[in-house]
């Protein structure tokens, strides 16, 4: 059990770094867009291993949804990001796992994670001023809440 906790924490730290660098101008955004979902879906695959072929199919679909959720961002010259934008961001990050959770029957877990992640992402993004902590924190929270699906 301790090994699983350590792996989840290390994965979340790596995810936070990928999330941060994926938003930096000198780096490709795919670092975040692909890296964070790979880590999160990797944790899911590791927990539910062995998966059936249908389980892998639904997990891959959830990975693609997670990739899509990471590519959508509230940036632009005329966008003043509000608290509700961050609430939606956290909600969408979590709901990207809907296909896999639907297949596995993890409705309660998905709802709990969605509520928690939406609220944490919103408060974190509104209250943290340091760019590294803010962006990195979003990546950390995205990953560290994944084990809620394992309950």
Q: What is the structure's pLDDT at 91?
A: 97
Rounded average pLDDT over 113-140: 96
Say whether the peptide bond before residue 50 is cis (omega within 30 degrees of 0): yes
Q: What is the structure's pLDDT at 72?
A: 78
Q: What is the structure's pLDDT at 76?
A: 66
- Residue matched to tokens 């999160």: 40
Q: Tell me the residue range of the domain where 127 lies.
A: 2-150
Contact by Cβ (8 Å): 147, 19: no
φ/ψ of 110, rounded to 5, equals -65, -45
Cα 136 to the center of its chain, rounded Å: 12
Instruction: Give per-residue pLDDT as tens, 20-59.
Output: 999 898 999 999 999 999 999 999 999 999 999 999 999 9
Domain count, the chain: 1
Q: How far is CA 56 from CA 9, 36, 118, in A?
A: 24, 18, 26
Q: What is the structure's pLDDT at 83?
A: 94
Instruction: Give per-residue pLDDT as tens, 59-112.
Output: 999 999 999 999 977 776 677 889 999 999 999 999 999 999 999 999 999 999
Contact by Cβ (8 Å): 122, 83: yes
């Amino acid at each position: 059990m301790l090994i699983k906790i350590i792996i989840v924490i290390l994965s979340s730290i790596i995810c936070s770094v990928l999330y941060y660098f994926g938003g930096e101008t000198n780096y490709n955004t795919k670092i975040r867009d692909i890296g964070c979902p790979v880590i999160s879906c990797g944790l899911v695959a590791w927990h539910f291993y062995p998966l059936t072929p249908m389980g892998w199919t639904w997990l891959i679909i959830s990975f693609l949804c997670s990739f899509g959720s990471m590519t959508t961002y509230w940036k632009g010259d005329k966008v003043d990001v509000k608290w509700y934008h961050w609430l939606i961001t956290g909600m969408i990050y979590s709901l990207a796992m809907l296909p896999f959770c639907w297949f596995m029957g993890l409705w309660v877990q998905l709802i709990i994670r969605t509520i928690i992640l939406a609220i944490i992402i919103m408060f974190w993004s509104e209250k943290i001023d340091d760019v590294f902590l803010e962006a990195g924190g979003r990546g950390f929270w995205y990953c560290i809440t994944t084990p809620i699906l394992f309950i």
